[in-house]
Amino acid sequence: MSKAERPGLPDGVREVDIEHLYRRFADRGLQYGPAFRGLRAVWSHGEEVYADSALDTATGGDYLLHPALLDTALQAALVPDIDREDRTFLPFALRGIRVHKGGARAVRIHTVPGDDGFSLALTGDDGEPVATIGSVVSRPVTAEQLDAAAQRTQLLRVVWKSVVQQSDHSDQQRWGFLGTDRIGLTGALKATRPLFDSYPTLRELDSVLRAATAVPDVLVVSCTDEDSPVRSAAQRALMVVQECLADHRLAKTRLVLVSSGAVAARAGEDLSDVSGAAVWGLLRSVQSEHPDRFVLVDVDDPGNSGRSLAAAVASGEPQLAVRNGALLRPRLVRSPPPPRRRSLTGTVVITGGTGELGRLLARHLVTGHDVRHLVLLSRRGPGSPGAAELDAELTALGARVDVIACDVADRSSLESALAGIPAPSAVIHTAGVLSDGAIGTLTPRGLDKVLRPKVDAALHLHELIQDPDCAFVVFSSVAGLVGNAGQGNYAAANAVLDALAHHRRARRLQGLSLAWGLWESENGMGSDLSAADHNRIKRSGFAPLGHDQGLALFDAALGSDEAVLSPVRLNEAGLTGDIPPVLEELAPTRTGKPAVTDTLVSRLAELPEAERDAAALEFVRSVSAVVFGYESGDEVDPQREFSAAGLDSIGNLELSRHLAAATGLRLPATLVFDHPTPAELASHLRRLLQESNS
């Protein structure tokens, strides 16, 4: 339709190409289907937009104002920003909506910019008003955010949750302790287990087993002591596991590996036993390969752990921590988005710097952060394939680049590489290799192959980077938290990296371990995975991360105060059936999800008036935490808008539903749009409840 045929257009309007418009929308992650591609003609006039739109003939439904028609008006309002590359504005809150005439199938649209958004007028062909919206508040959103929302990328973290202790009816069970009692458990076990034996060596265990009368039901082994290097601890645990699996006489025996200080089950806990963490990682994979044979327990008070160990074994949980007599089990949960963005600057060292992940990150630090000096360490350095091109590319982007040949697992090589550069503001350890194999075939060399570039290098970096201001980021893997079958060595190495991050933080140094899900890869780690491997990964509840998704999660994680975060792309369809317990709470119908059974009304009734506002807010935060999948309401910032904290449309409905159930009020689906922060929502609920009481 030309301007001449469209009355009401001012002079100086510019017609916008509809095809271009929908292409640009798609570029931004806004993919409209046929029913929603209703714009027929669009004209821009400065910041104002005029448009004609109509419903597709096939689009039906009995609506006062058809959503697809309304959506075209919102699409038209995006036109002034359509060619901005950095972000898209999406409608966030609509106020002052009036429908003047129902059942329209075609409208003329006029949008006028206002404070924080725009106003909308929809009229019919006859010029009569169809609908007006006084204010559409819009919010910026990046393509990455849209994409991430669609793909369910997440930052996960490990929380340790209480396990209800069952009464111990296992007095008739025969317990044994194998090996040296490095952490002081046998006294407690002897005192609490009526049937208890010690076997200092495997040879002595063998001689007992030959008698066949005293096969232990539970065999306890300490993971390690604080002095064992990672390699020795992992090798010893591997040996015990292989011996147990190969010995048919122990087929019904449960092996319990006990550590002290190998996992951080409480906020701020130090890990005194980083080597023990390797055993935890290794055994998580063992548990995936051989369920119900092996138990991991970390105790805080070995001398008094007899009853707790019995309760731990009785609980049926594969991994437990004992803290002050309570049993805790690890669960991966969604982490709240970190409150701030941290931009890296200055000199940044990347190990594995010429590998696929290293390159990706190097580019990102130059283009997405303010890094102006990159030190890329890799075994072959400038001789790595593509290193010269990478150097040239980063230099052209304005960065100074040093590509240095350095075996980061070799302490002196690393030391001399670091001595030749300015003090770094950040070190990012991405180096690593895979050498997969089932636990029964894993050898000490197979362990070393993976431990060396990951763990040796990380420990050297830890010793050499003692500047409390220097960011220290290690790339670990969710395999270490979940315990992927066939990746015992890799899980062990990554569990050490996670432990190291805790260890550094306890020493007031910086430390962040990112336990990545698999990245989509062409040449890097994971590139030689088969279709079956990918299917297995998919079934495991994770999908490969796209590069942009991974980098967006990297940026988000940098602003966190956590020691370990797991940036992943969840595949919730895969989180069903027989999943590792640590993933249970991520499943769509997770059984461990706390129910909102307490009502706000009864809670407020018990409190004096002066405390009710605070209680209402606490309630809103705790319900929000359930919806977000957070551990507690403490993680919900009262002043942060729900949308900014990542509440999507499904979450919004879920929150409204929970609050309605807890208040007995009829609450609209737009509740969170009208009261966008927890604090505002809590005040609103208080008002509604006061009104309903009066």
Tell me the two tokens of residue 495: 């569990």
- Token pair 């063992």 in the structure block, residue: 286
Query: Is 248 one of the binding residues for another protein (CB under 8 A)?
Result: no
Q: Which of 31, 162, 201, 523 binds another protein (CB under 8 A)?
A: 201
Identify the DSSP state of 250: G
Q: Which of 66, 110, 193, 236 binds another protein (CB under 8 A)?
A: 236
The answer to whether residue 179 forms part of the interface with another protein (CB under 8 A) is: yes
Site for another protein in 472-491 (CB under 8 A): none
Token digits of residue 268: 């701020």
Contact 258, 299 (CB under 8 A): yes
> 266 or 380, CB closer to another protein?
380
**The one segment of 116-124, 296-304, 438-446, 548-556 that binds another protein by CB under 8 A:** 438-446
Least distance (Å) between residue 161 CB and another protein:
33
Among 318, 221, 231, which Cα is nearest to 275's?
231
Q: What is the residue whose two structure tokens read 């190409």? A: 17
Residue 225 burial class via C-beta count within 10 angstroms: exposed 0-12, middle 13-18, buried 19 and up: middle
Among 112, 214, 239, 388, interactor with another protein by CB under 8 A:
239
Written as six digits, the tokens of 48 are: 């104002």
Nearer to another protein by Cβ, of 203 and 508: the residue is 203
Span near another protein by CB under 8 A; candidates 123-131, 177-185, 512-520, 581-589: 177-185
| Total residues in contact with another protein, by rule CB under 8 A | 16
Q: Measure Cα distances from 264 to 207, 212, 349, 380 in Å.
A: 38, 39, 28, 36
Q: How far apart, in Å, do the first and last CA atoms of the chain sit?
A: 58
Cα(543)–Cα(532) distance, rounded to whole angstroms? Answer: 13
H-helix or E-strand containing 27? helix 18-27
Within 100-143, strands assigned E span: 106-114, 117-123, 129-141
Q: 34: which 2 tokens?
A: 């046929």
Q: How far is the CB of 491 from another protein (least distance, A)?
A: 19
From the list 14, 203, 210, 666, which residue makes contact with another protein (rule: CB under 8 A)? 203
Tally of CB atoms within 10 A around 216: 24
Q: Find the helix or strand (DSSP H, E) in which 377 lies.
A: strand 370-378
Stretch that binds another protein, among 195-203, 282-290, 581-589, 604-612 (CB under 8 A): 195-203
Please pick, from the candidates 235, 354, 476, 510, the single residue that binds another protein as defined by CB under 8 A. Answer: 235
Give the range of 103-111, 188-196, 201-209, 674-682 binding another protein by CB under 8 A: 201-209
Q: Are strands 195-199 and 218-222 parallel, antiparallel or unpaired?
A: unpaired
Out of 21, 159, 240, 543, the residue judged to bind another protein by CB under 8 A: 240
Among 381, 444, 546, 581, binds another protein (CB under 8 A): 444
Does residue number 440 form part of the binding site for another protein (CB under 8 A)?
no
Nearer to another protein, 220 or 685 (CB): 220
Q: Is 250 in the site for another protein (CB under 8 A)?
A: no
Token pair listed for 415: 């030391």
Residue at token pair 């997440």:
154
Q: Which stretch binds another protein (CB under 8 A): 78-86, 172-180, 567-575, 591-599?
A: 172-180
- Residue 462 is encoded by which pair of tokens? 């830890």
Does the footprint of another protein cover residue 445 (CB under 8 A)?
yes
Tokens of 249: 């006489």
Q: Which is nearer to another protein, 445 or 508 (CB)?
A: 445
Least Å distance between CB 180 and another protein? Answer: 4
Q: Quick check: 528 binds another protein (CB under 8 A)?
A: no
| 201 vs 395, beta carbon nearer another protein | 201
In the bound complex, what is the minimum distance in angstroms from residue 248's beta carbon to another protein? 15
* Residue 366 makes contact with another protein by CB under 8 A: no
Asked if residue 443 binds another protein (CB under 8 A), the reply is yes
512-516 and 471-477: which strand pairing? parallel
CB 39 within 8 A of CB 16: no
Cα(294)–Cα(298) distance, rounded to whole angstroms?
Answer: 14
Strand-strand pairing, 319-323 and 117-123? unpaired
Tell me: does residue 178 bind another protein (CB under 8 A). Answer: yes
Report residue 200: phi and psi, to 5°: -65, -30
Least separation in angstroms between residue 262's CB and another protein is: 18
Which is nearer to another protein, 202 or 688 (by Cβ)? Answer: 202
Q: Residue 513, class by beta-carbon neighbours within 10 Å (0-12 exposed, 13-18 middle, 19+ buried)?
A: buried
CB closer to another protein out of 235 and 489: 235
Q: Quick one: which segment of 233-241, 555-563, 567-575, 647-655 binds another protein (CB under 8 A)? A: 233-241
With respect to another protein, which residue has the nearer C-beta, 206 or 370? 206
The Cα–Cα gap between 373 and 395 comes to 9
Q: Determine the interface stretch with another protein among 115-123, 174-182, 499-507, 577-585 (rule: CB under 8 A).
A: 174-182
Q: Which is nearer to another protein, 409 or 662 (CB)?
A: 409
Three-state DSSP class for 401?
strand
Distance in Å, CB of 282 to another protein, minimum: 15
158 closest CA partner among 577, 580, 643, 488: 580
Q: Which residues bind another protein (CB under 8 A)?
A: 178-180, 200-203, 232, 235-236, 239-240, 243, 443-445
